[in-house]
Amino acid sequence: MKEIVLDTETTGLSVKDGHRIVELGCIELDNLVPTKNIFHCYLSPDGKKVDPKAFETHGYTDEFLSTKQKFIEIADDFLEFIRDKKIIIHNAEFDIGHLNNELTLAGKQKINNSKVIDTLELARNKFPGSGISLDALCKRFRIDNSKREKH
Q: What is the pLDDT of residue 110?
A: 98
Q: What is the pLDDT of residue 151?
A: 66
Mean pLDDT, residues 49-58 taken together: 97
26 CB-contact burial (10 Å; exposed 0-12 / middle 13-18 / buried 19+): buried
Beta-carbon contacts of residue 75 (< 8 Å; ≥ 6 apart):
102, 103, 106, 108
| Whether residue 90 lies in the annotated active site | no
β-bridge partners, 3: 29, 86
138 CB-contact burial (10 Å; exposed 0-12 / middle 13-18 / buried 19+): middle
pTM to 2 decimal places: 0.94
Whether residue 61 contacts residue 50, with contact meaning beta carbons closer than 8 Å, is answered with yes
Write down the catalytic residue from 40, 90, 98, 151: 151
User: How does the average pLDDT of the chain come out, rounded?
Assistant: 96
- CA 97 to chain centroid, in Å, comes to 10
Share of the chain above pLDDT 90, in %: 95
Q: What is the pLDDT of residue 76?
A: 98
60 pLDDT more than 90: yes
